[in-house]
Structure 1
Amino acid sequence: MRGLRVLRAEWTKFRTVRGWVLGAFGATLASVLFLLVGTASTNQSSNRHTQDAVALPVGPGGEAVNDSFFFLHEALTGDGSITVSVTALTGVLAREPGRTSPGTTPWAKTGILVKQSLDQGSQYAAMMVTGAHGVRMQDNFTHDRAGLPGRPSATSPHWLRLVRAGSTVTGYDSADGAHWTERGSTRLAGLPATVQVGLFTASPAAVQTSGSRGGTSPAVATGTFGQVALGGSWARGSRPDRWRGVQVGGDAGTSGSYAENTSGAYARTRSGFSVTGAGDIAPVVGGPSLGPAYTIENFLVGTFAALIVLTVVAVQFVTAEYRRGLIGTTLAAAPGRGRLLAAKAAVVVTVAFTVGVVAAAISIPLGRQRAHATHFLVFTVPRAVELRAVLGTGLLLAATAACSLALGAVLRRSATAITVVVVTTVLPYLLAVSGVLPASVAQWLLRLTPAAGFAVQQTLPRYAHVLTVYTPSSGYFPLSPWGGYAVLGGWTVLALVAATLLLRRRDV
């Protein structure tokens, strides 16, 4: 009961000081205003590049995806299998306009595909040969399994097979066409009786990972296949005159900006087929390959402004009593000094969490509206990820407010405590994401300082089978969302422990 009385007294104290209440409202307003100013400047500088932008396709899991490739296919009904040998994967890289050189990107891919429909984002399973990662089985954009190593050749082809049984598709590979190894099995829920089956080729852009932001160069790949063998009901239902070549989807920023790289082709050869294509079948990630687009993180860019305002409020919530000589009266009314600090922390944590959640809940739909109005792409994420970013913003501000309060109790001076929070939390974050620091330095700052807590807002996925520049300036934190938040939480706990010990030992 005594603890509740102390908590009620501290809450009454907070809400009766107009400056602190206005500070909480001001933090929300600062976050939203910073978003409006930031998106307005970005729109003005990039508007001429994005007038024709359209929504990114959405995969089965709710994530934004690339679904752009050349497909030589046929609509087949029922259960069956498709088997083919791949004898080569070659490509062309555009070093600059008008200059090309032979080569393939590491995740150029060619192989066989079972796809729900030709609609972008529809379910699929594929067995493929890649530019530098051997044979892979991939399905529904986010799942990737390794198969045979190395690249195929005319004398050493890689054999691929997909078998459909109801809604389950199983992938196999072989080095000789006789001995097969199962590489994985996936269930494509709701797969219709009739699916699209055939050969495909895609080639994402070549990504230069040097520097903090990197860049991309257009790329095209060509797969060379032997004769296609169909089994089961597919063999009975297939007709050679029904096989058609089609470009699925647009480029989605994955192959570069040259128009000739956004559409593929196929040709019959003496031994089978050759299929040329660009684009990618993979989840969309950040970095240079995404191009001009907004992410959820962009809509939460004003969080640091709210954090600064709340830091001032949290610090003054304790230092004002020292400055005015009221701390003795407060301690007399609440004999447990640790209990008093806990009550103050509970108040600022609740206020900061509420501010963060409200600011994020306003900023995300507002940012989407502004992006759509100016024809910017918007990076789609699953609802659970977006909810984590919203709640994470509240948790980020709550932990920082508690840390600020503790530093105020330790240092007893508002200016000093506020400066410490800004230098250890806000400044490392801004330096890291702005790209002014080398990527390695930025990553260490976001591992060791309280700025690591900003990782809880990250929604950009990191996939081993998608090559991009995974650096802070491209939107990627070196720690996972909750790993980064744990670092901030550790610093907050240390600050609160230090404040409790000093408050108990020092005279008023």
Structure 2
Amino acid sequence: MSTGTATPYRSPLRTGRGGFVRLLRAEWTKFRTVRGWVLGTGAAALVTVLLGLLLASGNRSVCGNGVTEIPCPVPPTGPGGEAVDDKFYFVYRQLTGDGSVTVRVTSMTGQIRLPDETPGVRNVVPGVVPWAKAGVVVKAGGEQGSPYAAVMVTGEHGVRMQHDFTHDTAGRPGGVSRESPRWLRLTRTGDTLTGYESADGVKWTAVGTARPARLPDTVRIGMFAASPGHLTVSDGFGSPSAERFAEVTAVFDRVALEGAVTGGWNRHDVGVTVGPDGAPHHPGGLVESGGTFTVTGVGDIAPLTEGARIETPLTGAVIGLIIVIVVAATFATAEYRRGMIRTTLLASPRRGRVPAAKAVVAGAAAFAAGLAAAGILVPLGPRILRGGGTPVLPVSTLTELRVVAGCAALFAATAVLALALGVLFRRGVAAVTAAVVLIVVPYVLAATAALPAGAAQWLLRLTPAAAFSALQSIPRYPQVLGDYAPASGYYPLAPWAGLAVLCGYAAPALGLAVRALNRRDA
């Protein structure tokens, strides 16, 4: 006869971590044995891929050269592999080794082309756009995209030091005039370039330092002028934007060069567009008189932010997300509909673990679908676009991987939120509708410009649709004026911040689902 104390029976699903693992296996078994859920998850990936390939293959671009159609030019790339706008008027000499250039800028004026008020009469007004720039520059060579560093005065952003297109350091604010000139200096010491500014040419203040990539021993050093177009953006419905021609003219004197400078002054209209007749279109220019240089230029030296992107073929992901929502919501509600939830809860009396296990399974399945879809489209879609004549803004491999991972995370977090809503509502239609309204509808309203840009940006800050920012590959550059609206593929939050907003909805919703399941009858 036994004299020991009887050990009470415990369900294997009730004990610690091992019990949760067994619960995960049970939920995974349920998921994979229901053909509709498995096929639905696969369909989410397949639909995303097919729509993306259809969009990419149907996109054909040609550019005009007079009456002749030619392939659209591929944008130049900078030292970091990013697409750049490298167009300016350059007055330079050759410098070998260390040296410097010093100038005084006494004037900065320009003109802007506005919409014609009278048919046939060009409406050109005086003015300088905010990011018009003129100053001194050291550049590795004459080809577009080559490394450089520059110190400049701008239309409305004071003195700046910029290098290799993406780097920008602010100096003192203020403009330039004959009564208030600005002195600029750029020195080279080895591979380091240092920019200075001064109000009187006596007392100098350092603006910043730079180490441009792959700077050769012999470089071009001198003065430049550039002006991006005049951009107007409406905050009305559709948020249309328009960019019109603008140019800037800067006057330099007190020009001084130090170091092993050779040859005379050279002129180079970097990146100038040539018309069908072989003549330059909107050329820059130089007028030199008595040591005073008047330089006129158009264009910009900056990252390129407009054009097709690696995430362009991922537009179909919104349809894939709807399928993910349906699968995840019905994964939660099917047991209520069939009356099997009581059996599940009897097998796992710690009720809160059930929605948690379902969330892990649904999220993992959705993650795999998003990973597969983006893993195919991100490398293949841009290749098809380029084959159709559409240039695609290049990005680094790390950015490509981040977009792929971001798409997968978007699918996974959406599945968790939809599943939590399914547990809360216990009705598939209600859960699917709520998830679509929270995630899909705000994105569609913002991306199609159905709302003013300001309203669209707030919508993509406050709703789970903020997570679509995980698909953005080209960042917003503060030193580049652009139409940074959701309809143009720009989101108000950084990629992982947008995902955090979606997770900020999914996690509390899952917590409420656990609480509801613990407090109410099955």
Separation (CA, whole Å) in 1 of partners of 2:209 and 2:327? 55
Deviation at 1:107? 0.5
Corresponding residue for 2:486? 472
Summarize the alignment of residues 35-46 of structure 1 with structure 2, pairs less than 5 Å apart: 35-40=52-57, 42-43=59-60
Larger proportion of strand: 2
Amino acid paired to 2:248: A
Deviation at 1:444? 1.5
Separation (CA, whole Å) in 1 of partners of 2:337 and 2:491? 39
Deviation at 1:491? 0.4
For the 8 Å contact 2:101–2:187, the answer to whether it is kept is: yes
* 1:247 aligned to which of 269, 274, 279: 269
Corresponding residue for 2:228? 204
Deviation at 1:138? 1.0
Corresponding residue for 1:229? 256
Corresponding residue for 1:92? 111
Summarize the alignment of residues 92-491 of structure 1 with structure 2, pairs less than 5 Å apart: 92-96=111-115, 98-211=122-235, 212-231=239-258, 233-234=259-260, 237-240=261-264, 243-250=265-272, 262-285=282-305, 290=306, 293-491=307-505
Amino acid paired to 1:311: I
For the 8 Å contact 1:55–1:377, the answer to whether it is kept is: yes
For the 8 Å contact 1:83–1:159, the answer to whether it is kept is: yes
For the 8 Å contact 1:225–1:272, the answer to whether it is kept is: yes
Instruction: Give deviations 1:95-134, integer Å, cap 9, x for gaps.
Output: 1473311111110111110011222222111011111112
Q: Which runs of 4+ in 1 moved over 4 A?
A: 46-51, 259-262
Deviation at 1:298? 1.4
Instruction: Give deviations 1:199-255, integer Å, cap 9, x for gaps.
Output: 111110111022323111111111111142111x23xx3332xx2111222569xxx
For the 8 Å contact 2:463–2:502, the answer to whether it is kept is: yes
Gaps of 5+ in 1: 253-258
Deviation at 1:190? 3.3
Deviation at 1:485? 1.2
Separation (CA, whole Å) in 1 of partners of 2:387 and 2:295? 39
Corresponding residue for 1:12? 29
Q: In structure 1, the residue corresponding to 2:101 is in which secondary structure?
A: strand
Deviation at 1:40? 5.0
For the 8 Å contact 1:213–1:471, the answer to whether it is kept is: no
Deviation at 1:47? 4.7
Separation (CA, whole Å) in 1 of partners of 2:498 and 2:329? 23
Query: Normalization by structure 1: what TM-score?
Result: 0.92
Residue-pair matches, total: 489
Separation (CA, whole Å) in 1 of partners of 2:340 and 2:211? 67
| Structure exhibiting the larger radius of gyration computed from Cα positions | 2
Amino acid paired to 2:164: N
Deviation at 1:51? 4.4
1:29 aligns with 2:53: no
Q: In structure 2, the residue corresponding to 1:152 is in which secondary structure?
A: coil
Separation (CA, whole Å) in 2 of partners of 1:250 and 1:435? 34
Amino acid paired to 1:156: S
Q: In structure 2, the residue corresponding to 1:381 is in which secondary structure?
A: coil
Separation (CA, whole Å) in 1 of partners of 2:217 and 2:489? 41
Separation (CA, whole Å) in 1 of partners of 2:273 and 2:186? 26
Larger proportion of helix: 1
The percent of aligned pairs where both chains have the same amino acid is: 49
Separation (CA, whole Å) in 1 of partners of 2:494 and 2:206? 32
Query: Normalization by structure 2: what TM-score?
Result: 0.90
